[in-house]
C-alpha cells in the first residue's frame, strides 16, 4: 500500500475538531472564583472522526474489563466492584483505491469512574485508545486554561488558539456570550476534579449552592435532602461538607439514597 494514502488517513484522524465538538471540564478550583479547565473530545466525537477517516464499516472497537478481584475500596455509592476498568482495542482497516488493505490496531486502558462507573470507564478507555491514533491529541498542548466562574458555577467557554482550530474557522462575534456549566458528565471524564483552597463555610450563605455534580448550580433548597446527606459524608470540600451537615441537622434526614 502507498504510504501516502495511510498518511492521509492519519492526517484526518489528527486534525482539530470544530469548537462545538470540544467540551470543557473543571480540574482545579481556587479561592477567588477562578477554575482551571481541561478540554476533551467525547467518545461520540471519537466515533464520528473514525467514520470520517476510514468509513463506518472499516473500524472496530473491543472493550475488555480489567478484573482484579473485589475492590477493597468502596465507590461513592458505597458499592464494591469486581472490575477496575477497561482495556479498549481500536482496529482500523485502511483500504486504498486499488483494494490494498492495511490493518492498524491501538490499545489503551482507563479506570472506572466514581460517577456512572461502567459507562465512564468504557468511555475513558475509548478516548485513550483514540489518542493513540492521534485523535484529540493536540488538546494536550493547550497548557493551563483558567476561567472565571459566577456564583452558580457557570463559566464562559474558553476560546481555542488558532493552531487548535480547523483550517479557515473563525469564532463568531457572539461567541463571548456563550456559557457553559461545570457539571461533571462522568461518562466523558477520565478523572475526578481536584478542589483546592476551599472557602470558609460562612461564605456559603444560608442556602448554599452546589458547584459540581448532578445538581451543579442549584441551591440546597432546590435539591433532595438525600443528596445533601450524601454531600455531608462524601464532599471533598470541607466547607461544603460542613454546610451539608448543618443543613441536614436543621431540615431533617431523608429516607432514600442520594439520587444519581
What letter does residue 213 receive in the DSSP assignment? Answer: S
Helices (H) and strands (E) in the chain, counts: 5, 9
Tell me the pLDDT tens digit for each residue of 127-140: 999 999 999 999 99
- Annotated domain spans of the chain: 3-197, 198-260
CB 42 within 8 A of CB 36: no
Buried b vs exposed e over 28-44: b needs ≥16 C-beta within 10 Å? bbeeeeebbbbbbbbbe
Mean of the per-residue pLDDT values of the chain = 78
Q: What is the pLDDT of residue 193?
A: 35
φ/ψ (deg, to 5) at 33 = 95, 0
| pTM: predicted TM-score of the whole model, two decimal places | 0.62
pLDDT, tens digit (0-9, with 9 covering 90-100), for 96-150: 888 899 999 999 999 887 777 788 889 999 999 999 999 999 999 988 888 888 7
What parts of the chain have a pLDDT lower than 70? 68-83, 176-204, 212-214, 236, 252-260
Catalogue the E-assigned strands of 154-193: 154-156, 179-181
Residue 183, pLDDT score: 40
Contacts of 205 (CB under 8 A, 6+ apart): none
Amino acid at each position: 500500500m502507498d504510504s501516502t494514502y495511510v498518511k492521509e488517513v492519519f492526517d484526518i484522524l489528527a486534525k482539530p475538531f470544530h469548537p462545538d465538538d470540544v467540551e470543557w471540564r473543571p480540574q482545579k478550583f481556587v479561592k477567588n472564583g477562578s477554575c482551571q479547565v481541561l478540554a476533551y473530545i467525547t467518545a461520540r466525537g471519537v466515533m464520528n472522526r473514525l467514520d470520517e477517516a476510514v468509513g463506518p464499516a472499516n473500524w472496530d472497537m473491543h472493550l475488555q474489563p480489567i478484573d482484579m478481584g473485589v475492590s477493597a475500596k468502596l465507590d461513592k455509592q458505597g458499592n464494591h466492584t469486581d472490575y477496575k476498568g477497561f482495556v479498549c482495542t481500536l482496529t482500523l482497516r485502511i483500504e486504498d483505491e486499488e483494494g490494498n488493505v492495511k490493518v492498524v490496531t491501538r490499545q489503551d486502558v482507563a479506570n472506572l469512574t466514581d460517577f456512572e462507573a461502567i459507562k465512564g470507564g468504557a468511555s475513558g478507555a475509548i478516548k485513550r485508545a483514540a489518542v493513540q491514533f492521534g485523535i484529540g491529541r493536540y488538546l494536550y498542548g493547550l497548557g493551563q486554561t483558567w476561567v472565571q466562574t459566577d456564583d452558580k458555577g457557570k463559566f464562559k467557554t474558553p476560546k481555542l488558539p488558532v493552531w487548535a482550530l480547523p483550517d479557515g474557522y473563525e469564532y463568531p462575534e457572539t461567541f463571548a456570550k456563550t456559557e457553559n456549566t461545570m457539571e461533571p458528565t462522568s461518562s466523558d471524564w477520565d478523572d475526578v476534579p481536584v478542589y483546592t483552597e476551599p472557602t470558609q463555610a460562612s461564605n456559603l450563605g444560608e442556602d448554599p449552592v452546589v458547584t459540581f455534580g448532578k445538581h451543579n448550580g442549584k441551591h440546597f433548597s432546590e435539591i433532595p435532602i438525600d443528596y445533601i446527606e450524601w454531600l455531608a459524608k462524601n464532599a471533598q470540600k470541607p466547607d461544603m461538607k460542613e454546610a451539608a451537615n448543618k443543613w441536614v441537622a436543621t431540615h431533617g434526614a431523608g429516607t432514600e439514597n442520594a439520587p444519581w
